[in-house]
Amino acid sequence: MTVIDVDDPDDARVDDFRDLNSVDRRPDLPALPGGRVGKGLVIAEGVLVAQRMIASRFAPHAFLGVDKRLRELAGDLRGTELAGVPFYRASADVMAQVVGFHLNRGVLAVARRPQRLALSDVLAGARTVAVLEGVNDHENIGSIFRNAAGLGIDAVLFGAGCADPLYRRCVRVSMGHALLVPSAAFDDWPDGLDILHDNGFQTVSLTPEVSSPALAQALTDPVTEAPREKVAFLVGAEGPGLTRAVMRASHVRARIPMSRGTDSLNVATAAAIAFYERARTL
Amino acid sequence: MTVIDVDDPDDARVDDFRDLNSVDRRPDLPALPGGRVGKGLVIAEGVLVAQRMIASRFAPHAFLGVDKRLRELAGDLRGTELAGVPFYRASADVMAQVVGFHLNRGVLAVARRPQRLALSDVLAGARTVAVLEGVNDHENIGSIFRNAAGLGIDAVLFGAGCADPLYRRCVRVSMGHALLVPSAAFDDWPDGLDILHDNGFQTVSLTPEVSSPALAQALTDPVTEAPREKVAFLVGAEGPGLTRAVMRASHVRARIPMSRGTDSLNVATAAAIAFYERARTL
């Protein structure tokens, strides 16, 4: 890395890290067509997440951090094509003034958002995928990526109404897996679900409806009892759940058996249980 | 309810709701022997959680809320022994000044902490319990209570090093189930685990160690393949996990099969998967 000391919080060279908590000015807002809104950057926070960004297709073009974290990351970049990337070294105080709050993880990496992956590319070779509709909470999306990585899910796909999966908080909660687990978005929703059907996926809508079959049952062929070759789990936001249109478009509904009188589980927890059940059948 | 309008944020009658975000003055800090630290209160936030408090052994002795929430809760108290409890009705602004921040759920209920349940009472009749060690994150504890309620766990027990399960944030994340799911603490740790063994529980330490048997295997008798009659899941904090002493004291270790190169799951997510697997075998 090229180490550059930064003493002035107004230094324009660290503008990509400025005002990260600003609702309308943060640099990691998506760039919209016509150059509107954000800079379209992605921010990784902390050594572990920065390391995962380095290992991902999101190539960081700059770091901002304290000296201690510089030492921890130096080895990850040595001899790679990122070896010349600037590391803006600053005190914790200067960092806090740039970023807008005290950042206890001590280092940030920033990358430009690469082109989104094509759905067809992400599906090629995938055996189990998660499909999200209306999941508008960054922490839930981050948790779903983390659970997907841990429990063998090949891709996370986005239908309508979801929050930005590349927002800093989502990337952090995912432990960086939002940058590593293949991900794509549907252009048409819910009509695009046909792409899953055309590719041989059994689409399974997760629902708390007690009339739906239990999860385990939905994942095996009723005749041969063999596990389904390809499975796509569809999950909706806590509260409203999946829309009727998506439920109707899917092959089957499935529920996690729940105690009476309780709320449904958190969406990321329900997804984790579905991922576990799938891993269990394979 | 006895409705009392409060216009003055300094009104001493609402002191039990004052400065809820204060680290050292909030009224829901536990009271320690000798009258030190907090008032030993428990705060429920929002209509749903307040309703669960009303249904629990934590009898609220006052409410603070806006008129809309008063109407929503009135029916829950009518004809009960709580019918005369004061409801301090205030504007959202006055509430915010009392509480110390804007509370978008619009109502709070407060109760004194009743005597803790005895471990032996909580274990009587229980078939599956969760035991926490070193879980010091309120949101994780809240999620564990919510998952316990949803997935048929009979009690949540506390070993050493855990955060206060009756802190407002924990109660809120649990959706009020922290007040409803029976809960007790061990006096001796980890020696107190003997109480579980004496009561016929199979103690199962959850661990990401790849050499440990898979979860499903640990929950059935290896000879008869019948589900274990009574199971206690032991879970430790994210990162450090369970202490060696607890692992050694338990009957078996068990792991959730994970993909290579990933972190272990969040502790509440891992617990939810264990609870699900247990429900699956019963």
Number of domains in chain A: 2
Q: Which residue in chain B is spatially nearest to A276 when comparing CA positions?
A: B273
Contact A259 B149 (CB under 8 A): yes
**B15 shares its domain with B86:** yes
The contacts found for B94-98 with CB under 8 angstroms, 24 or more apart, are B94/B6, B94/B7, B94/B8, B94/B9, B95/B64, B95/B65, B95/B66, B97/B9, B98/B6, B98/B9, B98/B11, B98/B14, B98/B17, B98/B18, B98/B64
CATH number at residue A264: 3.40.1280.10
Residue A31 has pLDDT above 90, yes or no: no
Among B149, B258, B268, whose Cβ lies nearest the Cβ of A262? B149
Mean pLDDT score of chain B: 94
Tens of pLDDT, residue by residue over B30-64, are 887 776 678 899 999 999 999 999 999 999 999 99
**A149 shares its domain with A257:** yes
Tens of pLDDT, residue by residue over A230-259, are 999 999 988 889 999 999 999 999 999 988
Among A143, A152, A257, whose Cβ lies nearest the Cβ of B259? A152
Would you call A220 an interface residue with chain B, using a CB distance cutoff of 8 Å? no
**A101 shares its domain with A52:** yes
Q: How far are the Cα atoms of A80, A81, A106, B146 from residue A76, in angstroms, in the given order?
A: 8, 11, 17, 40
Would you call A177 an interface residue with chain B, using a CB distance cutoff of 8 Å? yes
Phi, psi of B183 (to 5 degrees): -150, 145
CATH number at residue B22: 3.30.1330.30
Domain assignment of residue A33, given as a range: 2-112
Tens of pLDDT, residue by residue over A140-170, are 999 999 999 999 999 999 999 999 999 999 9
User: Strand A128-133 relative to strand B231-236: parallel, antiparallel, unpaired?
Assistant: unpaired
ipTM: 0.94
Would you call B172 an interface residue with chain A, using a CB distance cutoff of 8 Å? no
Distance of CA B268 to the CA centre of its chain: 12
Mean pLDDT of the A262-278 span: 93
Q: Reduced to 3 DSSP states, what percent helix, strand and coil does chain B have, rounded to the nearest 5?
A: 35, 20, 45
Q: Which two tokens stand for residue B206?
A: 């959850």
Q: B155: which strand partners?
A: B129
End position of a domain, from candidates B112, B131, B157:
B112
Return the pLDDT at B240: 86
Sign of the alpha-carbon dihedral angle for A28, A30, A33, A34: negative
**B95 shares its domain with B204:** no
Confidence tier at A113 by pLDDT (50, 70, 90)? very high
Among B143, B277, B279, whose Cβ lies nearest the Cβ of A266? B143
**B80 shares its domain with B152:** no
Distance CA B107, CA B88 (A): 10
Q: How far are the Cα atoms of A152, A158, A163, A204, B259 from residue A185, in angstroms, in the given order?
A: 20, 4, 12, 18, 24
End position of a domain, from candidates B59, B79, B112:
B112
End position of a domain, from candidates B90, B112, B134:
B112
**B125 shares its domain with B158:** yes
Would you call A212 an interface residue with chain B, using a CB distance cutoff of 8 Å? no
Per mean pLDDT, which range of A24-38, A193-207, B143-157, B223-237 is the poorest?
A24-38
- Cis peptide, bond prior to residue B190, ω within 30 of zero: yes
